Amino acid sequence: MPNVQLPPKESNLFKRILKCYEQKQYKNGLKFCKMILSNPKFAEHGETLAMKGLTLNCLGKKEEAYEFVRKGLRNDVKSHCLPQSEEKGHETRYQLLQLRPTQRASWIGYAIAYHLLKDYDMALKLLEEFRQTQQVPPNKIDYEYSELILYQNQVMREANLFQESLEHIETYEKQICDKLLVEEIKGEILLKLGRLKEASEIFKNLIDRNAENWCYYEGLEKALQLSTLEERLQIYEEICKQYPRAISPRRLPLSLVPGEKFRELMDKFLRANFSKGCPPLFTTLKSLYYDTEKVSIIQELVTNYEASLKTCDFFSPYENGEKEPPTTLLWVQYFLAQHFDKLGQYSLALDYIDAAIASTPTLIELFYMKAKIYKHMGNLKEATKWMDEAQSLDTADRFINSKCAKYMLRANMIKEAEEMCSKFTREGTSAMENLNEMQCMWFQTECISAYQRLGRYGDALKKCHEVERHFFEITDDQFDFHTYCMRKMTLRAYVDLLRLEDILRRHAFYFKAARSAIEIYLKLYDNPLTDESKQQEINSENLSAKELKKMLSKQRRAQKKAKLEEERKHVERERQQKNQKKKRDEEEEEASGLREELVPEKLERVENPLEEAIKFLTPLKNLVADNIDTHLLAFEIYFRKGKFLLMLQSVKRAFAINSNNPWLHECLIKFSKSVSSHSNLPDIVSKVLSQEMQKIFVNKDLDSFNEDFLKHNTTSLQHLLSGAKMMYFLDKSRQEKAIAIATRLDETIKDKNVKTLLKVSEALLDGSFGNCSSQYEKYRMACHKLLPFTSAFLPAGNEVQSPSVALNHTANNNEVLAIEI
């Protein structure tokens, strides 16, 4: 039936409903809906019914929402409140433009819709029509008009209309506020048009404005078409003379030159930076460490500096003149500590950092570096101790506070990390809760890993879901910018936002949380948690009276402690609730409505862990398809669900990314073994599987396939470990040979580092090779000789030669080091 026209009073109420919906004041919106619908004349008003449905949907009341939306549809099928096809967004914008031709948002919305559809001609036509309606004098600078011009130019460049773009930017240059961006755009376009002489002048002017921007040097090199090394060096020498204090024109040639010329330039560069004291010097040079020749030259130069500065306060004993200040030696030792840490020579790195600390025990960077060295050595407890020492030197430094909390979490010190963060969180609420409100995802992802290592899967899953909710909120918050951006004309940023939202869950924080959630759900599927009381009852059956009494006493103490802890938490919760009651009363529910409380005990005892895992997997498959781990995680889920075609899809996609990946090798053998053990598959499925597996295995049986994998990767411990695991998986009688392959530590192994050795150690403990406790102990002793400071390889109860405390020898502690180092 046709919709009834609302009189002024009800019309104003309806406008308030729309405003409440936009501002997420859903309860107030429902009140206004009730005021209109309670009038018998307007009880069937379609648009009000539709808005009530939308509001209820936002409050999580989906069934009621559907009912009201259906009523709204029956009463007003043309209501603008009802959902429309996303594919026809430009048609909606066109209708809005016809209805409101004088509103800029209508024009801009219509143009952006075509821009996002890549219909650049129509977008440019609309933008030009709108620009001509703007009454801005030629010499007046108006920010909103400037943004419109820049957006128009962006669309031209995306349409590859470079000549038109250049003419456009030159025509309206005086009316654009961002003069730097104008020059950058002109330089980029001139390069594309081949007008190199003009482009070179632009980039020289840009370097004159900012001599530290590497992109400007890259543009200048392209514009000048420098073909030889000598020509490139000459340009950099001229710029160095022109800007004697600039670092970039001295740093960039170091990536170009080899041999003695590199030594000459590096010598000058290092001396200048050591003399004035430049803490990030090593970071500036770290990208050169792929070249072993350059690394050896750097090492020779800096070790000679250190020896000479100790004896005569000069960089070389053959120098005369003014002596170097004492701080020069300090920065040389700091650099050497970073250098040897990068090379994995941790004992030397510690010697140099200790010498630096002895001379200047108040410099935060030195303690920070010492903590970093211990982390790389595999001793997280000692690393945390030194990072805490660094933090104590400046408790107002938020960066070092965050680093200290991060190290604590990696050492599984969750409570201590929370207390550390509480120095910078809001008073009256727990740090954990406040960090969640602030969407502090680095902290939450580290918490996930810590809880996962400790076996507290419920707490880990709670954090995973919190991170997932953050991304939902970020997506939801974009709606606040839709009207704002078109009103304020910040169109370039608006388009960037829309494009970001399309790939938002590609972010590393989401991937890390999703991966952990999937791993936990897989573990819970393989080993479901049992009821604790039943488990204790089973464990007590085989105990003697004395042992049973001891166990019960221990349980009572644990229960008492848990009760006290629960009471403390209850008091804390009550206090927090009291402090936040006023805030909760004032604020309306969020866009997603009332959310289910995340209870760790419920999360770790879900009915179908694999379905929960798939919820986290789906965004990864859509957005992170170029990461091989996405497909291997998918395989692990489908392997447990027995979905053979989906398993095949996963391994094929992974195979296309990296056919020699160790984890993929394990998945392929498990997949083939599973297929051969299922003889009752449908004929069409069997045919597809047979054809596709033929392409991967090339008529080889699994043992031969595994042997070939081992032969082709004799110097990689990660590959040898996967091959050895599969050898034992295929034939349990070959345990000794498999363990011998996995525990090789000879000189031919290239990746003999802390991370890889800990993976092998974990495999020996987790049953991948069956029961092998004696072999594990031999391997631990061999690793301890190789890496004496790594806490996971220390004998039980022993301490490292420094004041550190050894970590317990468990698979969980091995995992933290393997993942985080």
- pLDDT tens across 159-210, in order? 999 999 999 999 999 999 999 999 999 999 999 999 999 999 999 999 999 9
Identify the pLDDT of residue 102.
53
Query: What gap in Å lies between CA 739 and CA 769, rounded to an integer?
Result: 7
Distance set, CA 718 to CA 650, 714, 721, 748 (Å): 21, 10, 5, 13
Closest Cα partner for 268 from 236, 231, 310?
Answer: 236
Give one DSSP letter per residue of 357-400, joined into a string: HHH-TT-HHHHHHHHHHHHHHT-HHHHHHHHHHHHHH-TT-HHH
Classify 411 as helix, strand or coil: coil
- In sequence order, the 6+-apart residues with CB closer than 8 A to the CB of 557 are none
The DSSP code for 627 is S
Contacts 24+ apart (CB under 8 A), 607-615: 609/521, 609/522, 609/524, 609/525, 610/521, 610/522, 610/525, 610/637, 610/640, 610/641, 612/517, 612/521, 613/517, 613/518, 613/521, 613/522, 613/525, 613/637
Pairwise pLDDT comparison (320 vs 651), residue with the higher score: 651
Scored b (16 or more CB within 10 A) or e, 2-34 reads ebbebeeebeebbebbeebbeebbbebbbebbe
**Residues 817, 378 contacting (CB under 8 angstroms):** yes
pLDDT of residue 34: 87
Q: Bridge partners of 799? A: 805
Percent of the chain with pLDDT over 90: 60
Q: Are the C-beta atoms of residues 645 and 690 closer than 8 Å to each other?
A: no
Choose the weakest-confidence range: 188-192, 286-290, 437-441, 805-809: 805-809
Closest CA to 253 of 278, 223, 230: 230
Contacting residues for 99 by C-beta, under 8 A, at least 6 apart: 106
Give residue 809's pLDDT: 35
Instruction: List, in sequence order, every beta strand (DSSP E) within 197-323.
Output: none
Tokens matching residue 665: 């090798």
In whole angstroms, give the CA distance from residue 809 to residue 795.
8
Give the Cβ contact number of residue 223 at 10 Å: 21
* Contacts of residue 409, Cβ cutoff 8 Å, sequence gap at least 6: 417, 443, 446, 447, 449, 450
Whole-number pLDDT of residue 92: 55
**What is the structure's pLDDT at 49?**
86
pLDDT value at 560 more than 50 = yes
Task: Output the CA angle 565-567-570, nearest 5 degrees.
Answer: 110
- What does the pLDDT read at residue 25? 82
If you average pLDDT over residues 362-368, what whole number do you get? 96
| More confident site: 353 or 483 | 353
> pLDDT tens for residues 769-806?
999 889 999 999 999 998 888 888 988 755 443 333 33
266 contacts 293 by C-beta, under 8 angstroms = no
CATH 3.40.50.720 fits 8-83, yes or no: no
One-letter amino acid identity for 565? E
Q: How far apart are CA 660 and CA 656, in angstroms?
A: 10
Instruction: Give residue-wise pLDDT tens across range 505-516.
Output: 999 999 999 999
| Burial of 428 from C-beta contacts in 10 A (0-12 / 13-18 / 19+) | exposed
Interatomic CA distance for residues 459 and 441, integer angstroms:
15
Work out the average pLDDT over 65-88. Answer: 63
Least confident of 298-307, 327-336, 595-604, 650-659: 595-604
Q: What is the residue whose two structure tokens read 């539709």?
A: 50
Residue 274 has pLDDT above 60, yes or no: yes
Question: What does the pLDDT look like over 664-718, one tens digit per residue?
Answer: 999 999 999 999 988 888 999 999 999 999 889 887 889 999 999 999 999 999 9
Global pTM reads 0.82
Per-position DSSP letters for 104-130, written without gaps between them: HHHHHHHHHHHHHTT-HHHHHHHHHHH
Lowest mean pLDDT among 349-353, 571-575, 595-599, 656-660: 571-575
pLDDT of residue 614 exceeding 90, the answer is yes
Which of 77-86, 506-515, 549-558 ranks highest by mean pLDDT?
506-515
Q: For residue 105, is pLDDT > 80?
A: no
Question: Long-range contacts for 198-202 (Cβ within 8 Å, ≥24 apart)?
Answer: 199/223, 200/224
Higher pLDDT, 558 or 205: 205
Cα–Cα distance measured from residue 721 to residue 377, given in angstroms and rounded to the nearest whole number: 21
Q: Give how far the C-alpha of residue 206 lies from the chain's centroid of Cα atoms, to the nearest Å.
A: 33
Q: What is the pLDDT of residues 566-606, one digit of tens each?
A: 777 666 666 665 555 445 444 544 444 556 788 889 999 99
Q: 225 burial class (0-12, 13-18, 19+ CB within 10 angstroms)?
A: exposed
- The reported pLDDT for the residue numbered 573 is 61
pLDDT on residue 71: 81
Instruction: Judge whether residue 340 has pLDDT over 80.
Output: yes
Q: What is the mean pLDDT of the chain?
A: 86
Q: How far is residue 135 from each of residues 123, 142, 152, 283, 566, measured CA to CA in Å?
A: 21, 11, 17, 51, 67
pLDDT tens figures, 137-149: 777 778 989 999 9
DSSP character for 750? Answer: S
Q: Break the chain into its structural domains and give their ranges.
A: 8-83
Contact 722, 713 (CB under 8 A): no
